[in-house]
Amino acid sequence: MSDEGHFLEVVDNRTGKKHLIPITEDTIDASIFAQLGLSIYDNGYLNTAVCRSAISYIDGDKGILRYRGYDIEDLAENSTFLEVSYLLIFGDLPTRDQLQTWETRIMRHTFIHENMIDYLKSFRYDAHPMGMVTSALSAMSTFHPEASTALQGEHIYENETMVNKQIFRLIGKVPTLAACAYRHRIGRAYNSPSNEFGYTENFLYMLDRLSENNYVPNPRLARALDVIFILHADHELNCSTAAMRQMTSTGVDPFVCLAGAASALYGPSHGGANEAALKMLEEIGSVENIPGFIEDVKAKKRRLMGFGHRVYKSYDPRAKILKKISDEVFEIMGRNPLIDIAVELERIALSDEYFIKRNLYPNVDFYSGIIYKAMGFPTDFFPVLFCIGRTSGWLAHWHEQLQQPIPIFRPKQSYEGAEPRAYVNLADRSAAQSPKIVDQGVNARKNLPPDTE
Ligand code: CMC
């Protein structure tokens, strides 16, 4: 099992014993350390492999991203989002017949239950669209009781038909939920899906059709968005995909797993960085202000949003493709002046010693926000667009994990709390010892200082 006799030689100087730990595919088995009474401390799982996966591959030093062995550049150039989804989930590109069946099955699952529409309508007029989508995904579990492991038992997913049905449903319905959340926000009636269109065209149709009988979305914009979905479809064990795997390990149904993954994506450090990059460009305001901004970044007063990556220590290949897509989108929608600031910011940063030394390059979020803005999407909708693309990746990991069952995730902690102590009765507790809770007080509405209550 080890890499041709490669071992890590460890001497435990508490006991003087030497241990040979086999190295397998650049990893060592952490459970061996349990036998030595040790666990690995890895705050935030920065260097812990929690599964073996064949879905996507990243070489951060060389700026390579591959799905199932195919370069992201090739897929973005030649493929469609649904084709790539098939590749990610089932391991290879579909034949013509397989693709046709796959697309038909997914487009048949774009409709959502009328009660789900009522549920979505019950949100406040200004509800964040990502809050609506994550809640709706969780609620969807209750609309498909035959797919609920809580009701039917985990064995239902030993049946491949059952697995595939939930994949069709989720890839089909996520854009519909997203479109309903968008229409809710702008105070327009929801559009039913139209299966005469392809996947991404139908999404734009649901977003934009008003009363036109023959509304046809712009095919070039639909293609640009389809490629953006490809770029966002998978990125190995990012935070939301790790959440997907963690939820899957509990045996809960895929609707709830997806709600968990989407909730992780909702976080500003994950799905929201493109919004931060866009706000930064707006704040810089003009090309003349860039040098001053760069000085602030170098003085650590600011971060250059959309730059740097935990894994990529060279140009993020997705950012390169997005830069090209931006030209196409501007040709249709008009040039967004923020692009000039972005291009100049990139040029200055890439020739500055501070950024060169730290291997800081544009990441996927640097250009995606400007493109979304040029397409007319509101900023709080950006993570929803990310979510549509990433749904395929999450489902690919769900599918893979069902085939190689992993025990329920249970990371360890390193306890650093109080030593055992005797219970203190209420009368004997001192204010100095008991933590004070910071609170506005119940009378905040009356604008009274909290301690006058
Ligand atoms: N602007 C300025 N300096 C930076 C930046 C940045 N964007 N990113 C890293 N640095 C500096 C950092 O201050 C540190 O400097 P020093 O060595 O002097 O202390 C050095 O570079 C290494 O930084 P780090 O924090 O150890 O790098 P990391 O790999 O932990 O951080 C990151 C990665 C993405 C959190 C960070 O680059 C960042 O905050 N970027 C801006 C936010 C952003 O664009 N996020 C989206 C990431 S891509 C999302 C996706 O793939 O889905």
pLDDT in tens, 110-158: 999 999 999 999 999 999 999 999 999 999 999 999 999 999 988 999 9
pTM: 0.92
pLDDT digits (tens, 9 = 90+) for 9-51: 999 999 999 999 999 988 999 988 888 889 999 999 999 999 9
Whether 207 and 329 share a structural domain: no
Taken in order 169, 170, 171, 173, the sign of the CA dihedral is positive
Domain tally, the chain: 3
Residue 50 lies in a domain: yes
Band (301; pLDDT cuts 50, 70, 90): very high
Do 209 and 92 share a structural domain? yes
Q: What are phi and psi of 116, to 5 degrees?
A: -70, -35
Residues 266 and 277 in one domain: no
Which pLDDT score is estimated for 269?
A: 83
Looking at the CA of residue 303, tell me the nearest atom of ligand 1.
Answer: 1
Q: Looking at ligand 1, which residue's alpha carbon is closest to its atom 32?
A: 309
Does residue 196 share a domain with residue 108?
Answer: yes
226 and 294 in a single domain? The answer is no
Residue 286 dihedral angles phi and psi, to the nearest 5°: -155, 160
- List strands edge to edge, sheet with 64-67: 56-59, 64-67, 70-71
Domain of residue 366: give its range. 273-374
Q: Is 144 a catalytic residue?
A: no
d(CA 262, CA 137): 9
Instruction: Please tell me whether residues 170 and 42 are part of one structural domain.
Output: no
**pLDDT attached to residue 453:** 43
How sure is the predictor about 283, in pLDDT bands with cuts at 50, 70 and 90? very high
Looking at the structure, tell me whether residues 96 and 222 fall in a common domain. Answer: yes
φ, ψ (nearest 5 deg) of residue 66: -130, 140
**CA 307 / ligand 1 centre spacing (Å):** 7
Statement to judge: residues 138 and 226 lie in one domain: yes
Out of 113, 270, 352, 380, the active site residue is 270
| 420 in any annotated domain | no
Ligand 1 centre to CA of 386 (Å) is 20
Q: What is the number of the ligand 1 atom nearest to the C-alpha of 271? A: 52
Per the domain annotation, does 86 fall within a domain?
yes
* Nearest protein Cα to ligand 1, atom 3: 303
From 176-180, 215-219, 436-440, the region with the lowest mean pLDDT: 436-440
pLDDT of 207 above 50? yes
Report the share of the chain in percent with pLDDT over 90: 82
309 classed as catalytic? yes
> Of 231, 108, 126, nearest to 168 (Cα)?
108
Mean pLDDT, residues 201-220 = 95
3-state secondary structure of 40: coil
Supply the DSSP symbol for 191.
P
Same domain for 88 and 116: yes
Residue 441 has pLDDT above 80, yes or no: no
Torsion of CA 337, 339, 343, 346, to 10 degrees: 120
- Picking from 137, 136, 123, 133, the residue whose alpha carbon sits closest to that of residue 184 is 123
Whether 215 and 208 have beta carbons less than 8 Å apart is answered as yes
pLDDT at 445 over 70: no
**In this structure, what CATH number is given to the domain that contains residue 366?**
1.10.230.10
258 shares a domain with 277: no
What pLDDT is attached to residue 1?
46
Q: Is residue 414 part of a domain?
A: no
- Asked if the model's pLDDT at residue 2 lies above 60, the reply is no
Q: Does residue 43 belong to any structural domain of this protein?
A: yes
Given 325, 353, 374, the domain boundary residue is 374
Residue of the CA atom closest to atom 9 of ligand 1: 308
- CA 227/CA 371 separation, integer angstroms: 12
148 located within any domain: yes
**Residue 190 falls inside a structural domain:** yes
DSSP 20: E
Q: Which CATH number characterizes residue 399's domain?
A: 1.10.580.10
8 A C-beta contact, residue 234 and residue 67 = yes
Nearest partner of 253 among 410, 109, 402, 388, judged by Cα: 402
- Is the domain of 171 the same as that of 130? yes
Same domain, 125 and 154: yes
Beta sheet of 7-12, edge-to-edge order: 7-12, 17-24, 27-28
Question: Among residues 309, 316, 397, 399, which one is catalytic?
Answer: 309
Q: What is the mean pLDDT of the chain?
A: 93
Testing ligand 1's pocket by substitution, the residue of 305, 358, 367 carrying the most ligand atoms inside 8 A of its CB is 358
Residue 157 lies in a domain: yes
